[in-house]
Amino acid sequence: MDKGSGNVAVRITVLGTVWGVGFRPFVYRLAHSLGLRGRTYNAPAGLVVEVAGGPEAIAGLGDRLRAEAPLQAVVLDVEVQTIPVGDWPDFRIVASEGDGQIQGLVPPDIATCDRCLAETADPTDRRYGYPFTNCTDCGPRYTIVQRLPYDRAATTMAGFALCEPCAAEYTDPLNRRFHAQPNACPRCGPRVWLTDPDSTPLEVDDPLNKARKLLADGRMGALQSLGGFHLACDATRGDAVQRLREGKNRPHKPFAVMARDLEVIRRLAEVTDAEAALLQGWRKPIVLLTPRPGVLAEGVTGASGWLGVMLPYTPLHQLLLAGPCDVLVMTSGNPPDAPIAHTHAEGLAGLGEVVDFFLLHDRPIHRRADDSVARCTDHGPVLLRRSRGWAGAPVILPRAGPDQLALGGDLKATCAVTRRDQAVVSQHVGDLAHPETLALLEATAKDLWTLLSARPVRVIHDAHPDYHSTRLAARLATTLDCPRLAVQHHHAHALACLADNGWEDPALAIILDGAGYGPDQTVWGGEVLAVDGLNWQRLAHLSPLPLAGGDRAASEPWRMAAAVLHRQDPDAAAEGLRRLVPESLVPPEVLHGVLALCDGDLVPRTSGAGRLFDAAASLLGLCHLTTFEGQAAMGLEHAAGQSHTREISRYRLDRTDDDAPWRLDLVPTLATLIAEGDRARGARIFHNTLVEAFCEAVDRARDRTGLDTVALSGGVLQNRLIHDGLTTQLTARGLRVLVHHQVPPNDGGLSLGQAWAGVLADTEGV
């Protein structure tokens, strides 16, 4: 304390996502408004404020640092200590200081703000038409940062020297571009250019204007975007969309589209207030909407009943949509089954045979990131793919522990690194069957622990011994010289939902997904568990069915229909299946071979809820063969949405003895579907019955355990009817229901559950 002046001085350290979100200018303005002296700077621990002044003013500063923090900031903690009053004539922002372990977090990418978009549309502005316009409130972060703290020299913008006007903005604390690390303009920043498919540059005065014209003429382009390449074409032209389907070898999977503004989206689809808010938020994900018929080319939605739509999130996208096209297909630019391309070499090599032109730029993408996907439910938004806009943001765990690395599963793979009470989940990586995707998961894991200056003391992985991620865990544990921990698939799903909600107490969990390795070496996937940290118990599950053909059953739903009909009546199964499945799709000898397999004990058994959806879709004649994961379930959900019946069919709930898990048998429900003339009604009855059956199973589980909290997880929870049906009915039964908010309920959230298991293992001495 300076007794002569009556002032006090403190050092305030703000922990969390405080870099790259405009926190220092915010502190600068706040300190000046309170008449305080001192300085603020980035340090390895986070953001430091050293300030002197009256006690009331300093107290006000501390309170307002949390309450009025920038929108994209995440304040995890504010530490305050008394220090001697410094020789500070005023309050200033100074350069980053200090050594030590990095504790600050990676800022996520932020969609372009309205002010920057207005500048790019203003002919009198020096950034008119400039596709890399950004400020402290928006722009690339996660995809360009190479190391922390987040300063320009630590990003892929380091090679672009600021021109005089940009440097003036960058060094002016009252300018909204103060220390906007990607700050640039046409004079000093990245540029765009066009090439033909063979990478030969096209000599044009205005590459963006030429790209707009090419797209309007029905051409297909590969655009280097924020986190990788997009493939784009006019979404209203059937010929262009069909060419894209053929080029990507993607006959049925839906394409996402990007629309100029919300007004255009309302023309394309039905939009609720909640969906509009999600679309227009600073992350701007793809949002699943109900399409209006006849507006877009028929092939856009593919086999899905929903339209995935997003708004422009960079000036480049906004400028492409300035006309004449106001809606473009904007799908991930990747070769089949490979990760999204992000370098010129990857794009040109992998996409050159598909497109008519490339729109490239010279701002390097350090970290690739697909677009995030979400949908709205009656109980809030649900993430289906967590990537751009979310990647880098921490999930706060209920308790702290040492650094851990979790590698997720083999589908929709992500990894996660924990640090103290934070889990940082990576961007979406993909399905690990493709060698390039597996290599990307390994590179992403190493990148994440290096970026966060973490030192993992344990590698956590799925309990399936043959998963690619399990083998990777063994290699990385050797590299890190640390032990491994295997976590059962559905236990990890439950822990992911509990960690997502900051819940540490025991709870029940309903886990509905396609497949997960069970301790009995069968395939699980329709489960009611009791979970208490690392301890768990299986209280109920779907009655197993033969998985005739193994993994082929997941892509050929008729095989699950065969299993249902065989269980119901073996003698009539062949005749019923022959009437159901055309001979042109399944030859008689294959059909009879599958039924013969159902008779024996050699085929694996599955209790997976996903396979029940496949069976229902086939029995209703909606889908017998699929070309992408989840196709049958999507079609079934869409059909069910056309009916409002509340009817419930027959099912069985029994067990062999008082200590055994309850078995939910929905074969009686499924067997009735083959005679259902109204597909929509049959699909809705299936959904209703599944919800009712699991609610009854939870009633039994609550009676047995006394637990009144239930977590919902697994890929089936992407289904809005199941998500809302379970949440509403369980709440009406007096249960506290926990659903996902920060990570997807599908396997993209597994790494969070595994990471939380690692923290529990450490704190419980395992």
- Note the pLDDT tens digit of each residue in 567-609: 999 988 899 899 999 988 999 899 889 998 888 777 889 999 9
Q: Go through 676-689 and write b for each residue having 16 or more CB atoms within 10 A of its CB, e for each that does not.
A: beebbbbbbbbbbb
What pLDDT was estimated at residue 553?
87
Mean pLDDT for the stretch of residues 737-748:
98
* Encoded tokens for 619: 């029995």
Q: Is the dihedral of CA 448, 367, 391, 470 positive or negative?
A: negative
Matching CATH topology for 8-93 and 105-372?
no
Confidence of residue 370 (pLDDT cuts 50, 70, 90): very high
Query: What are 606-617's pLDDT values in tens digits?
Result: 999 999 999 999
- The CATH class of 510-738 is alpha beta
Q: Give the orientation angle of helix 468-480 with respect to helix 435-451, to 10 degrees.
A: 40
Residue 709 pLDDT greater than 90, yes or no: yes
CATH number for 393-489 (one of 3.10.129.10, 3.30.420.360, 3.90.209.20, 3.90.950.10): it is: 3.30.420.360
Share of the chain above pLDDT 90, in %: 81
The letter for the amino acid at 106 is V
User: CB of 392 within 8 A of CB of 386?
Assistant: no
Q: 97-131: per-residue pLDDT in tens?
A: 766 677 777 889 999 999 999 999 999 999 999 99
The pTM of this model reads: 0.94
Alpha helices in 641-749 (DSSP H): 667-673, 679-705, 720-732
Question: H-helix or E-strand containing 193?
Answer: strand 192-195
pLDDT average, residue stretch 400-419: 96
Confidence of residue 42 (pLDDT cuts 50, 70, 90): confident
- Could you give the CA distance from residue 700 to residue 172 in angstroms, rounded to a whole number? 64
For residue 22, pLDDT beyond 90:
no
Query: CB-based burial of residue 582 (10 Å sphere; 0-12 exposed, 13-18 middle, 19+ buried)?
Result: exposed
> How far is C-alpha 201 from the geometric centre of its chain's CA atoms?
35
What letter would DSSP give residue 339? P
Measured between alpha carbons, how far is 206 from 201 in angstroms, rounded to an integer?
13
Kindly tell me if the per-residue pLDDT of 487 is higher than 60. Answer: yes
b (16+ CB within 10 A) / e for 431-449: bbebeebbebbbebbebbb
pLDDT per position as a tens digit, 543-570? 999 998 888 888 999 999 999 999 999 9
Task: Using pLDDT thresholds of 50, 70 and 90, give the confidence band for residue 4.
Answer: very low
Q: Give the length of the chain.
A: 766
Tokens 């200081």 sit on residue: 97
Residue at token pair 């999977």: 253
Mean pLDDT for 258-276 is 97
pLDDT band at 665 (very low <50, low <70, confident <90, very high): very high
Tally of CA atoms within 13 A in the half-sphere of 100 that contains its CB: 10
Average pLDDT in the 315-338 region?
93
- CB distance 470 to 461 below 8 Å: yes
The percentage of residues in the chain with a pLDDT greater than 70, rounded to a whole number, is 98
Q: Rounded mean pLDDT of the chain?
A: 94
Task: Report helix, strand or coil for 446.
Answer: helix
Bridge partner list, 429: none
pLDDT bin (cut points 50, 70, 90) of residue 719 is: very high
Residue type, 533: G
> Following DSSP, what letter does each residue of 123-164 receive, concatenated?
TTSTTTT-TT--BTTBB--TTTB-SSS--GGGBTTTTSPPPH
Taking 60 as the threshold, does the pLDDT of residue 500 lie above it?
yes
Where residue 3 falls among pLDDT bands split at 50, 70, 90? very low
Q: Maximum CA pair distance of the chain?
A: 99
- Give the pair of three-digit tokens for residue 32: 């000046």
Domain ranges of the chain: 8-93, 105-372, 393-489, 510-738
Instruction: Give the pLDDT of residue 17.
Output: 86
More confident residue, 471 or 77: 471
Tell me if residue 654 falls in helix, strand or coil: strand
CATH number of the 8-93 domain = 3.30.70.100
Q: Give the single-character DSSP code of 393.
A: P
> What number is the average pLDDT over the span 364-381?
97
Could you tell me if 526 and 664 are in contact, meaning their C-beta atoms sit under 8 angstroms apart?
Answer: yes
In this structure, the number of other CB atoms found within 10 A of the CB of residue 533 comes to: 18
To the question of domain 105-372 being in CATH 3.90.870.30, the answer is: yes
The mean pLDDT of 149-166, rounded to a whole number, is 95
Strands 74-82 and 221-224, bridge-based pairing: unpaired
CA atoms within 13 A on the CB side of 203: 0
pLDDT of residue 677: 86
Report pLDDT for 1: 36
